[in-house]
Structure 1
Amino acid sequence: MSTVDTSTSPGAGSGVRAGEARRTPGLVPVAETLETTERHARPETPTPPVPSARERWAFWRLLGSELGLTFRRPRNLAMLAVIACVPVIIGVTLRIVGGQGGMGGIIADVAGNSLMLTFFALSFLVLLMMPVAVTVVAGDSVAGEAGAGTLRYLLAAPAGRTRLLLVKYLNAAIYAYAVTAVVALSALLTGLVLFPAGPVTLLSGTTITMAEGLLRILIAVGYVGAGMAALAAIGLALSTFTEVSIGAIAGTIVLVIVCQVLRAIPELDSITPYLLPTWFTNFDAVLRAPVDFGALREGLVAFGAYIALFGSIAWARFSGKDITS
């Protein structure tokens, strides 16, 4: 019986296309291996887009434009002018009263040194007049745009809601520091004109040099500005809930007044530490020797908590808000 060579039989070659290489059992052609690898390869993780230089500068251009509008608006300039006049009036009044003699307490302290007028003016204005000025800008930040019908156009730009909200808050916070600086500078110049300059006697009875006194004024300005920035966060949050800016402004001012009333009730002392105005006057820690940095730190923590809380409320409201105007 003869053995048939299937490799040369016509039937074996009929199933093989012309030019096709024979496969060796157990091996896979290289071309098929590459195709299989490409077919089953894991998709590459997309790389997050890196903001271009144009996008990075867009934020600062938007902030600069917002600051320009704020500090060119006659209403805001008028508030700064009025606030700058108050320390002058206080200084002239204390000069007249102090010249009559027989006065003690804060009047004697202010009349005895020019730098003390700055601390007195901050203590006098930080409880109402300065909050009113800051609230007007913060409360008008979003509600004013919605009421004027320009908010939709701002959101049409590729800025994004979060970026726009951050710009609005930074604008209000910078204005808050401007208000604080105007009060301090006006009081300082008025004090230098009306009262003698020299070593400063602190509340603890310690005397410091004038240069150290100026440094403590700078610390007080930074602290009070942070408090006004925390108030700006409240005004911004209320501004996202309405399209009428006067409603957000009035609501924030009423909140400040209510807190002041609650602080005056002895039976409610337990809630006093949770009220924002409680921490406004803690800058008097710089009038002690040494400076009570613990009191300043507690106040700054309270301001930071208010900024985080009401900033989150503003973001949650504004990011999901249906803008119709």
Structure 2
Amino acid sequence: MSRAETAETAGTAGAVLGESRPNPLWTLGLLRNELTTTLRRWRTLALLAVLAGVPVLIGVAVKIETSDGSSMGGGGPEGGGPAFIAQITNNGLFLVFTALAATLPFFLPMAVGVIAGDAVAGEANAGTLRYLLVAPAGRTRLLLTKYATTLAFCVLATLVVAVSALITGAVLFPLGDVVTISGTRITFAEGLWRALLIALTVAASLIGIAALGLFVSTLTSSGIAAMATTVGLLITVQILDQIPQLDALQPYFFSHHWLSFADLMRDPVYWDDLLKNLELQALYAAVFGSAAWARFTAKDISA
């Protein structure tokens, strides 16, 4: 957000309200302005372009390999998300599940970490944070707006992957009834509905890393440092989640149940791991959201 934008926002709010307490319309205006500013950045557009390109690369690779007469591996259906790749040639809808499984461990959370890490630290580094605080929103409302913007990006980024995968799958492969992991057959319409539920579940799985990134963003005035730290923590947690000696701690890592979205493709749906994932994300959001609020409200904004 530029100084001109922040100054204009603050001046408009003050002129309209004539008081220090903002109304809901002003808050919606601030959120709209944050969303617009975030989505206009070249960095954000580049991240979305990369995410959209992943399903295309997977689809083309599968198409080339099957055209050469090779068989697609991937293991049995109990293997979870990555096993969906074996079904892509039979039904392009499976490219949606495969692309989400491929991007969730790193690409999607990395993109969210970049946006969340830059939320506060980027403003401080650009010198616009104090201009934002001139507006009658208060630090709490500003922080909530930043987090809401990050969550909106979580949904947008996930839908970009899903829509790109659906279009690519429809172009390169046939579409039709879907065979679930349990071996039952459902209609294409129901499969499409489950694909939407899976996309929303994947977006919800990013709530924890978004809160963690926002907390890191309040600890520094360098946007690059905040983004690098958030991505570094993501990589570290992913590595620790693969070490057998840490199996007692792994259920508490925010990434541990990410691939549980595959259970939405069972018939009936297995809810245990899905609910554990959502509960864990809510816990991380509460803990690191509170930590971000405590840090931000006590932070000295001098530049």
- Distance in 2 (CA, whole Å) between partners of 1:60 and 1:295 is 35
Per-residue deviation, 1:71: 0.8
- Distance in 2 (CA, whole Å) between partners of 1:194 and 1:89 is 12
Question: Please, what TM-score do these two structures have when normalized by structure 2?
Answer: 0.88
What residue in structure 2 maps to residue 244 of structure 1? 222
Question: Please, what TM-score do these two structures have when normalized by structure 1?
Answer: 0.82
What residue in structure 1 maps to residue 288 of structure 2? 310
Query: Pick from 160, 166, 175: which aligns with 1:182?
Result: 160
Matching of residue 96 in structure 1 with residue 30 in structure 2: no
- Distance in 2 (CA, whole Å) between partners of 1:181 and 1:300 is 18
- Distance in 1 (CA, whole Å) between partners of 2:151 and 2:199 is 13
Q: Taking every aligned residue pair, what percent have the same amino acid on both sides? A: 48
What residue in structure 1 maps to residue 54 of structure 2? 86
What residue in structure 2 maps to residue 116 of structure 1? 94
Q: Which amino acid aligns with 2:288?
A: F
Per-residue deviation, 1:292: 1.3
Q: Which amino acid aligns with 2:34?
A: E
Residue pairs, 1:281-300, within 5 angstroms? 281-300=259-278
Per-residue deviation, 1:108: 3.1
- Distance in 1 (CA, whole Å) between partners of 2:57 and 2:71 is 21
- Distance in 2 (CA, whole Å) between partners of 1:102 and 1:58 is 57
Residue pairs, 1:122-271, within 5 angstroms? 122-271=100-249
What residue in structure 2 maps to residue 59 of structure 1? 27
1:147-201 per-position Cα deviation (integer Å, ceiling 9, x unaligned): 1111111111111000000000000110111100000000011111111100111
Matching of residue 74 in structure 1 with residue 38 in structure 2: no
What residue in structure 2 maps to residue 278 of structure 1? 256
Which segment is superposed worse, 98-107 or 59-68? 98-107
Alpha carbons 2:257, 2:273 under 8 Å: kept: no
Alpha carbons 1:142, 1:240 under 8 Å: kept: yes
Gap runs ≥5 in structure 2: 1-18, 75-82
Q: Which amino acid aligns with 2:123?
A: E
Q: How many residues align?
A: 275
Gap runs ≥5 in structure 1: 1-50
Q: Which amino acid aligns with 1:102?
A: S
Alpha carbons 1:144, 1:244 under 8 Å: kept: yes
What residue in structure 1 maps to residue 10 of structure 2? none
Q: Which amino acid aligns with 1:139?
A: G
- Distance in 2 (CA, whole Å) between partners of 1:212 and 1:254 is 38
Residue pairs, 1:10-21, within 5 angstroms? none
Alpha carbons 2:140, 2:297 under 8 Å: kept: yes
Per-residue deviation, 1:282: 1.1
What residue in structure 1 maps to residue 80 of structure 2? none
- Distance in 2 (CA, whole Å) between partners of 1:242 and 1:93 is 42
- Distance in 1 (CA, whole Å) between partners of 2:73 and 2:117 is 41
Per-residue deviation, 1:293: 2.2
1:10-63 per-position Cα deviation (integer Å, ceiling 9, x unaligned): xxxxxxxxxxxxxxxxxxxxxxxxxxxxxxxxxxxxxxxxx9996121100000
- Distance in 2 (CA, whole Å) between partners of 1:209 and 1:58 is 45
Alpha carbons 1:98, 1:108 under 8 Å: kept: no
What residue in structure 2 maps to residue 25 of structure 1? none
- Distance in 2 (CA, whole Å) between partners of 1:54 and 1:305 is 29
Alpha carbons 2:21, 2:136 under 8 Å: kept: no
- Distance in 2 (CA, whole Å) between partners of 1:96 and 1:295 is 35
Alpha carbons 1:177, 1:228 under 8 Å: kept: no
Alpha carbons 1:204, 1:288 under 8 Å: kept: yes
- Distance in 2 (CA, whole Å) between partners of 1:70 and 1:175 is 9
Alpha carbons 1:143, 1:240 under 8 Å: kept: yes
CA RMSD of aligned residues (A): 1.6
